[in-house]
């Protein structure tokens, strides 16, 4: 198993999405690539280069080549992962600008998805995505939540098989209560997973052998 963990909260401490995301990483205990879009922001992209990346243009303009190389790297991180974790605070009813920049870099026709007669097909072949959506009060899954549904759509679009939502809404109470609730949601999901049970069995077998 390998994990790609994306963080987009501007809060480097006391961030509910960061704490719950790290809890999932610890619970899965697998190879993890952590892409922190706040600590290491993606470079700004010009309008012309955005169009060039989107169409995988072969123009030799250096700024475009740099952006395509970055996009290739970000897509490879997805290709190498079978589990995706996205920490997504709601900012002004949408996703963080840094996360949108990442999405613009990884959605590329013919690379991360392709068009077919049956509609677009995702090419990333990722088993599951945990989408942790945090808010100050906006109910997750409600009419004003434009984040969790959008991210689920993007995940399905690039080829994620199963989407698992973690609700870190501020309406759940204090930060401690939000985090506790998030952890419980994670525990419940993982307790139902055959892969996880298998790894527990393996752990027990190893312990028994010792």
Contact positions toward ligand FMN, by CB under 6 A?
9, 11, 15-18, 89-93, 134-138, 170
Question: Given the complex with ligand FMN, which of 91 and 113 has the nearer CB atom?
Answer: 91
CB of 33 to ligand FMN, least distance (A): 20
Question: Given the complex with ligand FMN, which of 94 and 110 has the nearer CB atom?
Answer: 94
User: From CA 146, how far away is CA 151, in angstroms rounded?
Assistant: 9
Specify whether the CB–CB gap between 143 and 136 falls below 8 A: no
CB of 90 to ligand FMN, least distance (A): 4
Question: Given the complex with ligand FMN, which of 9 and 98 has the nearer CB atom?
Answer: 9
Question: Given the complex with ligand FMN, which of 9 and 71 has the nearer CB atom?
Answer: 9
CB of 122 to ligand FMN, least distance (A): 26
CB of 81 to ligand FMN, least distance (A): 21
Neighbours of 134 (CB within 10 A): 30
């Amino acid at each position: 198993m390998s994990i790609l963990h994306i963080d987009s909260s501007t809060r480097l401490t006391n961030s509910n999405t960061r704490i719950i995301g790290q809890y999932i990483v610890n619970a899965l205990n697998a190879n993890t690539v952590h892409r922190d879009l706040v600590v290491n922001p993606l470079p700004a992209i010009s309008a012309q280069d955005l169009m060039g990346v989107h169409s995988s243009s072969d123009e030799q303009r250096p700024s475009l080549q740099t952006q395509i190389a970055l996009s290739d790297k970000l897509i490879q991180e997805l290709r190498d992962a079978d589990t995706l974790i996205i920490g997504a605070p709601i900012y002004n009813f949408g996703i963080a600008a840094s996360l949108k920049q990442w999405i613009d870099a990884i959605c590329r026709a013919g690379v991360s998805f392709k068009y077919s007669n049956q509609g677009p097909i995702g090419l990333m072949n990722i088993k599951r995505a945990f989408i942790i959506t945090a808010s100050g009060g906006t109910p997750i899954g409600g009419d004003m939540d434009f984040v969790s549904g959008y991210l689920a759509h993007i995940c399905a679009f690039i080829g994620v098989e199963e989407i698992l939502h973690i609700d870190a809404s501020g309406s759940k109470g204090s930060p401690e209560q939000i985090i506790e609730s998030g952890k419980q949601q994670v525990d419940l999901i993982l307790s139902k997973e055959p892969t996880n049970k298998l790894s527990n069995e393996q752990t027990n077998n190893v312990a028994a052998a010792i």
